[in-house]
Structure 1
Amino acid sequence: MKVLVTGGAGFLGSHLCERLLNLGHDVLCVDNYFTGSKRNVAHLLSNSGFELMRHDVTFPLYVEVDQIFNLACPASPVHYQHDPVQTTKTSVHGAINMLGLAKRVGARILQASTSEVYGDPEVHPQPESYWGKVNPIGFRSCYDEGKRCAETLFFDYYRQHNLDIKVVRIFNTYGPGMHPNDGRVVSNFIVQALTGQPITIYGDGAQTRSFCYRDDLIEVMLRMMDTENGFTGPINIGNPNEFTMLELANLVIELTNSKSKLQFDPLPADDPKQRQPDISLAKDKLSWEPTTQLRDGLTKTISYFDGLISSGQYKPQ
């Protein structure tokens, strides 16, 4: 098939492109390189089935494809808060443009939504039936509400135009290929530990996250796209094993043999206290659950970041 991946030069998008090529598909990778990088897909350029296009999804795109994976949007707070208006436009206008394309060519389209649609949840763990607790005017709202609106658009196109949609809600994901300056907790802790800086913990470190390794996440996204029974989602994809920030920091220090000390800073506004997916639906509908343990995934990710730092590719900000 001919498959379009928006945000295809990003952390997850580049690995998705690689998997799709390995499955024998032709892949059109679209990215405006705000957070993505040509370096992430440079090894794919020699593949005759791969095409790279610089494009911003807030503008219409006219191509012929069979499937669309819509991953375009900065996903870390430091990046999506840099230009919050553009972040909202990417989620909302980008969804409208990609849905319009899917409608025109009759393509199946998958939306990479997020656990942030649940906000600071009052239900734990979070099932897909939970509507969330989101601040609509906060610093994180450009991303949270943008993704919520994108889901609305997907289901309105499904109901109004009978479009073939799939919606996945991605929980915290990590692995080789992450942006070293994306401000996410895994990349922050690893870079700080490898460079001997204090490891920054916000609040008391008791807040929790659930970390899913990159390869596990790409696998379930592919399974979701290939479902033929009319199942639309939304469906949670992520690792249900929950860790506190203190536990993660101490594990990173152990795996890197770092001398870094812990530094406690004030908690950012609207930072969720808990985040853990209920993946019962993914187990039932897709026969999927993650297989990579946090220690194993972190070891591979640390090796990747160590290579960036030792080769001089990492530039502190």
Structure 2
Amino acid sequence: MENGDSQTVAVVETAAPAPSPPPPPDPNLDDATAAVPLHASPTEKTDDPIALDCETWNIKSVSALGALRMLIEALERLADATGDVPPTPPVSRPSTPRSMEMRRMHRRTPSSLKLAQGADGLPSLPIGSPEAQPHEPITVEVGAHAEDITLQHAAIARRFFSKVPPPFTLQQYLLRIHHYCPHSPGVYLAAVAYIHHLCVSDLMVPATNRTIHRLSLAAIRVAAKALEDNKWAQERIAKVGGVSNNQLMNLEVTLCFLLDFELYVDEKIMARRMYMMQQAAKHGIGARGRLNDQFKLKLPQRNKGVK
């Protein structure tokens, strides 16, 4: 150096730039005709349904396909134990003002084009006609002059009834949904928690061959919205599920009201509800006794002294 001082020059090795992570998945932008093969998962998680002996099992040991198969197996057995239960008669309510009906018919379409993509090219699989008519309620009314809450729950639960059982099994139906719209294991386990709450704990909706298809579709859809950031487009889910967009929305709203919007689930709740679901399916017993004896979905008698 010019001033006679010696300096040590640090040699810095330039490492190769780290590869950037792939972008997060966006189901709305996926190819509409793409399907997920139902082969073994590339992880150590099992794709086979697990027969549980306690409620403290490790939910991370099962794959999405395994969790779905556990849901299918338990719900089909529960439906066999319940038998056929007819829906309650429809409950009349004051008609919706014409102005409100017109506003509903002219709601704006989503501003994002992504929300409407994803249904073209998918095979159609109609699930059949619902028992409830379009004018029947899907929400619970509150207030001094509101009808009995039990009566309201029985009325909106009609949304899950089909006029006749679909011509395919629940297994065929849900594996088709997983084929075209796969979800995470947590979504399927959360759906089990919702279904157990309605069908076993509170006995609001009977698990029968006429209800389990619509009920499981709504539970999976609501669980996906509650737990996941990226969700399949509404139009795609509706077409794969064999219902219209409006019917799917009604099923979601109905499920939320029957659950009193208590949608939070954690790993402990998922594990416990799945175990309890399997036990109910195994023994045909709900929280209040045998399902066939307890499921008397008759409308409660209205108090004539209350107007």
* TM-score bucket of the superposed structures, by smaller chain: under 0.3
Structure-2-length-normalised TM-score: 0.23
Pick the structure with more strand per residue.
1
Which is bigger in relative contact order (C-alpha 8 A, separation at least 6)?
Answer: 2
Structure-1-length-normalised TM-score: 0.23
